[in-house]
Every structure is written in C-alpha cells, then in structure tokens.
C-alpha cells in the first residue's frame, strides 16, 4: 500500500485566496483525521471522520475552515479565505478502526506545507 | 487546553548515551499512549505504545514507562544513535470514550556523534 497520500506537498498562496488540501487515506481504513502542526500547539486535531461522516469538528479554528469526505478514499480540507496565520503543516492520518483501541495507530501522510503571504 | 504536554522543546544527547523524553497528560480517562517519531519533511511514524494496564513496554532500544498516578510517561532510547535525531511526539487517547489521538507539542532530539 502506498500509505496516506496528501497533495500538494507545498502550497504558497496569497492572503484571501481559497486553498484546498487533499488526502487519500489507506484503503480499508475507517477513520480519517486532519491535523495541523504548529510550534505552539504541536499536532492539533482539526476534524475527525468515521466512515466518511464528520464526528468531531470542534478543533476547526473558525468558519473559514471546512472539510469534506465524499467517499472512503478522498477527503479535502478547504480554507476560504486564507490568512497568514493559517501558515502551517497540515497532516492527514487514517486508522483501520472506527474509534481507537489498544493496538490502533494512526498512519500519517507526508503533510502539506501551507504558506499564506 | 493542551491535554498532552511535552515541556522540553529540545534535547541533545551524546551518541551511545541514554535519551529520556518526557510527557505529561491531564485527562484521567486516557488509557492508551503512543510515541511517534518525525523526520523533517515527513509525516510522523508510529514508534511504540503502552496500555494503561502496563507500566513498561520495551521494543529493542526503545522503552516507554507509564506512571499513572503522576499522569506521566517517558520514552527511553538506549543507546542513542545519530539516526534517532528527530522530533518525538507523545499521544494519548481513551479507548472507552474517545475516537481521537491527542498529541503533545513535540521534543526535538539531537544525538551528537
């Protein structure tokens, strides 16, 4: 398996523009997570899907952020409009189980480095 | 509020010595803990985990210790190697009530040859 695939790897955009980050989870995995890595908060959970359904989006910073999972093999994280403080590395991760159990681990993609200027 | 904390942003250790990375958590419902390793420009990868029914789990050079009463866990790397230089994230979850992993801010380990 190719693992969790994210695109693009790098994105530079101007403030106010719409940004869409993409994720393909590992085939057969039931849960998908979007994380944002910052120095202050480490890996911060933004939203979690279980079987394509958003379960917890309390980590989404504000209404400018939205995420979708139209099917089991694809998810997007959209920021509209983007702001310089959104600059960070965004990771997508998936797990084979619905909910976490002993022995469950999250498999991460390589991340998208977003720079908003 | 940060439920998982790693208070040391960085650590430098001589090759061959022991590296000790620390992690504290606040949620008493957490019962499963993981350590992830992250190299630059890569995603975090799973390293080792421990369930709350244990106080120690060992895998080669890596050992994780859990002190439930103190809500503290640590990762020991013995002996440390230059290839261990990376950012290490501690993560925690509740297998009874939760669906998500909570991560700390990470500790950047540098192993000096």
* Residues in B touching A91 (Cβ below 8 Å): 43-44
Look at B42 and A103 and tell me if their CB atoms are within 8 Å.
Answer: no
The token duo for A66 is 């939205």
Least trusted range by pLDDT, from B23-37, B44-58, B95-109: B95-109
Q: What is the pLDDT of residue A24?
A: 97
Interface touch B51/A102, C-beta < 8 Å = yes
A111 band by pLDDT with thresholds 50, 70 and 90: very high
Q: Look at B49 and A100 and tell me if their CB atoms are within 8 Å.
A: no
pLDDT value of position A1: 60
| pLDDT reported for residue B96 | 86
Report pLDDT for A66.
Answer: 97
CB-closest option in B46, B100, B102 to A105:
B46
pLDDT at B100: 85
Q: What is the pLDDT of residues A52-109, one digit of tens each?
A: 999 889 889 889 999 999 999 999 999 999 999 999 999 999 998 877 777 788 999 9
CB contact under 8 Å between B93 and A100, yes or no, is yes
Q: How far is CA B95 from CA A89, B7, B43, B110, B112, in A?
A: 27, 25, 24, 33, 38
Are A116 and A83 within 8 A, CB to CB?
A: yes
d(CA A14, CA B23): 37
pLDDT at B73 over 90: yes
The mean pLDDT value for B21-49 works out to 95
Residues of chain B with C-beta less than 8 angstroms from the C-beta of A40: 105
What is the number of other CB atoms lying within 10 angstroms of the CB of residue B113? 8
Tell which residue, B109, B62, B103, has the closest CA to residue B86. B109
Instruction: List, in order, residues 6 or more apart from A81 with CB less than 8 Å away.
Output: A15, A16, A17, A18, A64
Nearest to A100 among B4, B46, B98 (CB): B98
Q: What is the DSSP string of chain B?
A: --SEE---SEEEEETTS-EEEEEEE--TT--EEEEEEE-TTS--EEEEEEETT-SEEEETTEEEEEETTTTEEEEEESS--GGG-EEEEEEEE-TTT--S-EE---EEEEEE-
For chain B, the average pLDDT equals: 95
Mean pLDDT in residue range A1-28: 95
Instruction: State pLDDT tens for residues A16-65.
Output: 999 999 999 999 998 999 999 988 888 999 999 999 999 889 889 889 99
Token pair in block for residue B77: 């790397």
């Amino acid at each position: 398996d190719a693992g969790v695939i994210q695109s693009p790897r790098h994105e530079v955009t101007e403030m106010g523009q719409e940004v869409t980050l993409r994720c393909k989870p590992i085939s057969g995995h039931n849960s998908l997570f979007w994380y944002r890595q910052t120095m202050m908060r480490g890996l911060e959970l933004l939203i979690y899907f279980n079987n394509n359904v958003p379960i917890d989006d309390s980590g989404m910073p504000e209404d400018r952020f939205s995420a979708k999972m139209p099917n089991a093999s694809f998810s997007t994280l959209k920021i509209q409009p983007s702001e310089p403080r959104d600059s960070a590395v965004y990771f997508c991760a998936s797990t084979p189980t619905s909910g976490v159990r002993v022995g469950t681990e999250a498999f991460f993609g390589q991340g998208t480095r977003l720079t908003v200027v | 509020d940060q439920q998982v904390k790693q208070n040391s942003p960085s650590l430098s250790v001589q090759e061959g010595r022991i590296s000790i990375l620390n992690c504290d958590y606040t949620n008493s419902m957490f019962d499963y803990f993981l350590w992830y390793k992250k190299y630059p420009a890569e995603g975090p990868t799973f390293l080792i985990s421990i369930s709350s029914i244990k106080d120690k789990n060992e895998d080669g050079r890596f050992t994780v210790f859990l002190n439930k009463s103190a809500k503290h866990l640590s990762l020991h790397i013995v002996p440390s190697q230059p290839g261990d230089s990376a950012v290490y994230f501690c993560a925690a979850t509740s297998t009874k009530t939760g669906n998500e992993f909570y991560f700390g801010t990470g500790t950047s380990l540098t192993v000096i040859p």
